[in-house]
Structure 1
Amino acid sequence: MKKVYACLIGNWVCLNDDPECVIGTHRQSPVIWFEEGADIYAPTSRNPEYVDKYTGLDYVNVYYLGKDYRINPIFIQIVTE
């Protein structure tokens, strides 16, 4: 079994624990998101206007326990049991 963990506001949580949790552009369950390629926003070329701005960073959207989060993908870990 795969578990998908994310650091949300400084706390590591298991996204699998929330049956309503969705992640990514296609709003998939955490495990399906990972198994189908783990899409994130990461442009192949950066608009020079946004290179040094927060809005230009790689990110993934996570809906967890009724809240939407936008996090950098480095704050996601996959654990296989």
Structure 2
Amino acid sequence: MVHVYANLLGTWTDLSTDSNAVIGNHHQRPDVWWNNGAEMWNPNSMTQENTLYQQPYVMVSYHDVIYRVFPSQIQVVEK
């Protein structure tokens, strides 16, 4: 089974344990997101330099809070 973890405000959280958690632009369950290619937002061209708005990220919704997570703060574990 695939478990998708995200570092949410300094705490590594198993998103797979919450049936309401969704990830990515298509708001998929974490395991579905991973099995469908783990889409993240990444700019094709920078419209502004030196801004966080132009960095790649993954949107995570967990316990009714939406997080913008840098891809290196996502880990996938198969148990």
Measured against the shorter chain, the TM-score band is: over 0.9
Matched, 1:68 2:41: no
Structure 2 counterparts to residues 1-80 of structure 1, below 5 A: 1-47=1-47, 49=48, 51-80=49-78
Q: Distance in 1 between matches of 2:12 and 2:40?
A: 19
CA positional deviation for 1:54: 1.1
Unaligned runs of 5+ residues in structure 1 are none
Unaligned runs of 5+ residues in structure 2 are none
TM-score of the two chains, using structure 1 as the length reference:
0.92
TM-score of the two chains, using structure 2 as the length reference:
0.94
Tell me the percent identity: 38
Q: Distance in 2 between matches of 1:36 and 1:21?
A: 16
* Matched position secondary structure for 1:31: helix
**Partner amino acid for 2:57?**
Y
Aligned residues: 79
Q: Distance in 2 between matches of 1:32 and 1:79?
A: 14
CA positional deviation for 1:66: 1.4
Q: Distance in 2 between matches of 1:60 and 1:36?
A: 14
